[in-house]
Amino acid sequence: MPKLGINVDHVATVRQAREGFTPDPVLAAKICEEAGAHSIVAHLREDRRHIHDRDIQKLKKTVKTRLNLEMSLNKDIVAVAIKIKPYQATLVPEKRQELTTEGGLDVIKNFTKIKRVTKILSQKGILVSLFIDPQKNQIIAAKRSGAKSIELHTGCYANAQTPVALKKEFKKIKNAVKIGNKLGLVVNAGHGLNYKNTQTLAKIAGIAELNIGHSIISQAIFVGLKKAVKDMLKLCKQK
Ligand code: PXP
């Protein structure tokens, strides 16, 4: 049964709609933890469109489980991570115009830079995870980079439009989990997971943690955050 990490970015998205102080992603993180979340995820984007530096500073002080900072390889963001020292840093590709992280890191193409940032963060005691597509060559490169963990991008699985496509994407993830585990990597997964597609994925043995944001924060509008978290936890636990 995988653990559940909750991404609170979109609480900050709503706050930024009015550029005010509410809703507060730090308070949301506390409620998620009280409801049973195993970690809190927040993405400090280069354009600061949702989560701000002060949110990360506060989360570092208040999160009782584990703080997983999603971040690009940008040197200013790396400097923030070094200063704040989250439990974990998940390195992701970042494009200014995208609505959300569109694909995994190309570890092969950007190997030298990823290896360097992984080393810098690891030396500061931060657990480094690489967000990658479920592809064998990317997993092997991730291992070679020195990262201890990977997060498999589940976007294609989440967006599959037909049962055949869904089965194909599911198989890709299952196979990638096996490869990652064999190499001794901690394997997480996430992106686009919701109340319909998570349960099937959660049954794959060897996934340490699922990281979910948008669907839980959206559901919270209707049922409250605590229930939204508890309902997702149930799906992670069901056999
Ligand atoms: N994992 C990573 C690395 C991400 O970039 C995101 C999106 O910020 C998520 C998980 C969560 O995706 P979603 O909001 O679609 O659940």
* CATH code assigned at 172: 3.20.20.70
* pLDDT for the residue 238: 74
Residue 91 backbone phi and psi in degrees, to 5:
-85, 125
Q: Would you say residue 96 lies in a domain?
A: yes
Ligand 1 neighbours, Cβ below 6 Å, are 7, 9, 43, 70, 90, 92, 100-101, 131, 151, 190-193, 211-215
Type of residue numbered 139 = I
Relative to the CA of 43, which ligand 1 atom is closest?
8
How far is the C-alpha of 147 from the C-alpha of 126, rounded, in Å? 10
Question: Which domain, by its residues, includes 72?
Answer: 3-234
Q: Span 195-213, mean pLDDT? A: 97
Best probe residue, ligand 1, of 4, 7, 196 (max atoms within 8 Å of C-beta): 7
How far, in Å, from the CA of 190 to the mean position of ligand 1?
Answer: 6
Instruction: Evaluate if residue 186 carries a pLDDT over 70.
Output: yes
Predicted model pTM: 0.96
Annotated active-site residue 191? The verdict is yes
How far is the C-alpha of 69 from the C-alpha of 42, rounded, in Å? 5
How far, in Å, from the CA of 152 to the mean position of ligand 1?
Answer: 10
Relative to the CA of 217, which ligand 1 atom is closest?
14
Q: Would you say residue 106 lies in a domain?
A: yes
How far is the C-alpha of 55 from the C-alpha of 12, rounded, in Å? 9
Relative to the CA of 214, which ligand 1 atom is closest?
14
* pLDDT for the residue 239: 63
- How many structural domains are present in the chain? 1
Annotated active-site residue 70? The verdict is yes
Instruction: Evaluate if residue 95 carries a pLDDT over 90.
Output: no
CA distances, 89 to each of 36, 41, 82, 236 (Å):
21, 9, 10, 23
Beta bridge partners of 71: 91
Contact present, 39 and 68 (Cβ < 8 Å) = yes
Q: Span 137-141, mean pLDDT? A: 98
Instruction: Evaluate if residue 47 carries a pLDDT over 80.
Output: yes
Q: Span 35-58, mean pLDDT? A: 97
Q: Would you say residue 119 lies in a domain?
A: yes
Q: Would you say residue 211 lies in a domain?
A: yes
Q: Is 7 exposed, middle or buried (0-12, 13-18, 19+ CB in 10 A)?
A: buried
Instruction: Evaluate if residue 224 carries a pLDDT over 70.
Output: yes
